[in-house]
Structure 1
Amino acid sequence: MTEDPFVAHRSLLFTVAYEMLGSAADAEDVLQETWLRWAAVDRSQVGDPRAYLVRAVTRQALNRIRTLARRREDYVGEWLPEPLLTHPDVADDVELAESVSIAMLTVLETLRPVERAVFVLHEVFGIPHNEVAEAVGKTPDAVRQIARRARNHVSARQPRVRVSPTEHKAVMGRFVAALHTGRIQDLLEIMAPDVILIADGGGLSAAAQAPVHGAELVARLLTGTERAEADTTLVWVNGAPAIRIESDGGGRAAVSLRIENGRITRIYATSNPQKLTRLHEPTALTR
């Protein structure tokens, strides 16, 4: 029996929705809505099921973004994408790993909804402009302009030099060691002077309400954080090495880094318990 196209492409569809929304829970809702529509469609009229499903997911995600925008206006403190435990082999696909990184998803949040959809579909998944145009309800020429604008926007906010998983893991290891020693100097040696810490507690856990700028302030904040009875584990989150911090067997925080020239330039710390539900079973992400 032939596998249903929705099932066959589910990981791809989830990845598209997640990259557009930054939330696994919302991505799953989008997939559920897409499945209901797929179940009712006349399959004989669908020439390319994969393209049809990607278009359907994109449209549902765009609808969901409008709802999320209203919800995030009332969000307490900084908002970060929901971290996902992933298999190490996600890093083998460099383009995919970069596109799902917490750093990239944070940048994508600064795009307009249609810009984000165009960037994700064309730049990440390589979908032709004419097919993207069908998904977002624009002309191919308009999509080309949007793609160029979105690409320039993202390029201006992302490091130009990619960091290998090996280097990323090495810096992360030094960062974990510095946290354990609690010595400010150890942290200062691996952080850029203009490092920024962004914490997301969602009003449900203790977290800085605004970004913390500068190595001295960040180091003092990190060394002042309670470390007793916390289990720090190096894991793969969103295709890159990260830290999972647990206390009493429950999720407590996930920490991801952006690294440039061997030093940490951004620290993303998520402690909102509602966003820590996907840190124990790997989520399949694919292109």
Structure 2
Amino acid sequence: MQTLNSPPSSLRDQPLVIAGRSFQSRLMTGTGKYRSIADMQASVAASGCDIVTVAVRRVQANAPGHEGLTQALDWQKIWMLPNTAGCATAEEAIRVARLGREMAKLLGQEENNFVKLEVIPDSKYLLPDPIGTLAAAEQLVKEGFAVLPYINADPLLAKRLEEVGCATVMPLGSPIGSGQGLRNAANIQIIIESATVPVVIDAGIGSPSEAAQGMELGADALLINTAIAQAGNSAAMARAMALATEAGRLAYLAGRIPVKAYASASSPTIGTIAPNQ
């Protein structure tokens, strides 16, 4: 018998695979913007995520909210995704990526070569620099990194990053922390249809309904931080986002009905009583 927690056997999903490594959860979370370390720990646990992103520069500098962060999570169970947040140029991002790889090694993840690549010179809208991102990605791939680049929802840039060897592409739904949802859904759909690497929607998701929408488009995973960290109850929102991610993925696998311009009766007309009877 099927339960609410077990999809039909015909729709059993495959694990998410990034750079040859398998993950069960398709929700990634972050470690910034929480009110406390305890909130962050509870939220990560409630999300059931396998991947947590960590801002290398903020950890190195012991920035507020990041003190003791590396000791706050069990890195034997959670895969660290170091990110280059705060880097405005390709050169900065490359240096920070190298520091992130060393940080992962110090925490026991000797084989961790992942990096979430962010090159963001724009301080108002926090939009990524496509030219700097591509330049940094090319160099980091040459150095053996599994590069997960954060980009605008630009299908041509996404394809170019895939061609230089990036492990995923991570288009934004809307600006970081804005909670505006999937303002770029049409372009994200093109990226998903064209990509042969996992597509991770990163930034802008504000509610579980938007998380489900992203997965229904066919995204392979989501990265959600602010919507969880800044929620009234972060752990509860983390759980809600996890359930929405699963629901959206299952809906995508199930296949939605086509959109029509006219009605279609759900009840059969065969056997109905004629007007003159």
Q: TM-score scaled by structure 2?
A: 0.29
Please identify the structure whose Cα radius of gyration is greater. Answer: 2
Q: TM-score scaled by structure 1?
A: 0.28
